[in-house]
A = this chain, B = another copy of it.
Amino acid sequence: MTGPRYTRLMDSLPASVPFVGPETQERANGAAFVARLGANESVFGPSPNVLKAIANAGAEAWMYGDPEVFDLRRALADHHGVRPENIVVGEGIDGLLGYLARMLVEPGDAVVTSAGAYPTFNYHVAGFGGALHQVPYQGDHEHPEALITRAEEARAKLIYLANPDNPMGSWHGAASVQAMVEAVPEGCLLALDEAYVDMAPPGTAPALDMADRRVIRFRTFSKAYGLAGLRVGYAMAHADLIASFNKIRNHFGLGRLAQAAALAALNDQDHLNATLERIAASRERIGRIARETGLTPLPSATNFVTIDCGRDGDFARAVVAALSKRGIFVRMPFTPPQDRCIRVSCGIDADLTLFEAALPDALTEAAG
């Protein structure tokens, strides 16, 4: 029994995974984190209406979700001023990025992203054999012009840009992003990940133009809407591109409860706005905590603050480890020079008080 014959591509893939979950660290630590500030979740939680919708939907949990996700797509279309044919909903942006890579990337095809940008995008591209071209950040911002230039040189099929950016929290204004869209080379597609755009200043997202075949926009209920635990993301694009997802997606992959919860979340914009205020206040406080310990918080258009620890990646990694030992879960950028930073998600006051108390000792331990 030699076992199954995998594809050549599968045999070539590493066993590595893009992110280790906090639960894995908790099991290794033998204790739960006291403050969960590493996954850019919304500690402020979803709308109370969502909790009611979830409880009510329990009685319908025996039914498969609508594979067309009709009600949610219609509501999203109304919300964004587009049509339901321009929207595909899936198992988080992660799931949709996987489908997109599958749709475009054959072994050896060029794909362009920023060195240190979202690892899960890279994971999906590698998973379909794509040749990943990585462009450096410019001053802690992704570099649209450099991404475009590299895409032209490499004849890339796909470019990834997160705006606002994760893990740096930086952003470009709508005009810069629109200029990038206009510059996308013929036959290339820009995957514009706007997971954090709800928290960005007005004027960060370019207008939605569903006639434009050069860009697909990703949004999520996992961040500002506080529903990471249900995994609902969506993408908006030209109807032809959206229809192509239907050739390959897991049609019954999005459960009934997830659909009901996302719809309830969308329908409570007051809760969203209240959350955005809490996020803004939390960003301010994280910034103060950082400055009080001699660190430099970077400007953020997201629900996290990336903090420059002023030294190298080894030091920042030691800070993350020292915080983890003290029950504080944070993450950090993977790539130099951004890995001089730690990344702290917004949290409720109790979480930030724990972070504030632990940070000085963690810095001392990391330095010593």
Establish whether residues B91 and A228, one from each chain, have CB atoms under 8 Å apart when the complex forms: no
Q: Which residues of chain A from 1 to 50 have a CB within 8 Å of any chain B CB?
A: 1-10, 13-15, 17-21, 23-24, 27, 36, 39, 41-46, 50
With contacts A106-B7, A250-B91 taken as known, whether A64 is within 8 angstroms of B222 at the C-beta atoms is yes
Establish whether residues B61 and A3, one from each chain, have CB atoms under 8 Å apart when the complex forms: no
Residue among A42, A106, A248 having the largest count of chain B Cβ atoms under 10 Å = A248
Judge whether A297 is part of the interface by a CB distance below 8 angstroms.
no
Establish whether residues A104 and B68, one from each chain, have CB atoms under 8 Å apart when the complex forms: no
With contacts A4-B157, A13-B247, A21-B66 taken as known, whether A253 is within 8 angstroms of B94 at the C-beta atoms is yes
Q: Which of B36, B58, B127, B187 contacts A2 (CB 8 A)?
A: B187
A42–B64 CA distance with the chains assembled, in angstroms: 10
With contacts A27-B70, A64-B229 taken as known, whether A4 is within 8 angstroms of B55 at the C-beta atoms is no
Q: Which of B4, B23, B103 contacts A10 (CB 8 A)?
A: B103
CB distance from A223 to the nearest CB of B (A): 10
CB distance from A222 to the nearest CB of B (A): 7
Set of chain B residues within 8 Å of A54, measured between Cβ atoms? 54-55, 57-58, 61, 257
Segment with Cβ contacts to B, from A132-140, A163-171, A238-246, A355-363:
A238-246
Number of A residues with CB within 8 Å of any CB on chain B: 92
Judge whether A251 is part of the interface by a CB distance below 8 angstroms.
yes
Residue of B nearest to A26 (CB): B66
Q: Which of B15, B43, B51, B228 contacts A243 (CB 8 A)?
A: B15
Establish whether residues B1 and A212, one from each chain, have CB atoms under 8 Å apart when the complex forms: yes
Q: Which of B62, B241, B252, B258 contacts A3 (CB 8 A)?
A: B241
Q: For the complex, would chain A's binding face be called helix, strand, loop or mixed by DSSP majority?
A: loop
Judge whether A261 is part of the interface by a CB distance below 8 angstroms.
yes
Residue of B nearest to A1 (CB): B213
Q: Which residues of chain A from 214 to 258 have a CB within 8 Å of any chain B CB?
A: 214, 222, 226-231, 238, 240-241, 243-244, 246-248, 250-258
A318–B329 CA distance with the chains assembled, in angstroms: 60
Judge whether A92 is part of the interface by a CB distance below 8 angstroms.
yes
Q: Which residues of chain A from 282 to 314 have a CB within 8 Å of any chain B CB?
A: none
Establish whether residues A43 and B23, one from each chain, have CB atoms under 8 Å apart when the complex forms: no
Residue among A3, A60, A66 having the largest count of chain B Cβ atoms under 10 Å = A3
With contacts A98-B250, A247-B14, A250-B98 taken as known, whether A257 is within 8 angstroms of B241 at the C-beta atoms is no
With contacts A58-B54, A60-B229 taken as known, whether A5 is within 8 angstroms of B104 at the C-beta atoms is yes
Establish whether residues B45 and A59, one from each chain, have CB atoms under 8 Å apart when the complex forms: yes
Residue of B nearest to A4 (CB): B189
CB distance from A97 to the nearest CB of B (A): 9
Judge whether A63 is part of the interface by a CB distance below 8 angstroms.
yes
11 pairs from A and B in contact (CB 8 Å cutoff): A1-B212, A6-B103, A14-B247, A19-B67, A36-B63, A42-B62, A60-B229, A62-B227, A228-B256, A230-B255, A257-B257
Other CB < 8 Å A-B pairs besides A4-B104, A62-B228, 6 of them? A4-B188, A5-B104, A54-B57, A54-B58, A92-B252, A231-B254
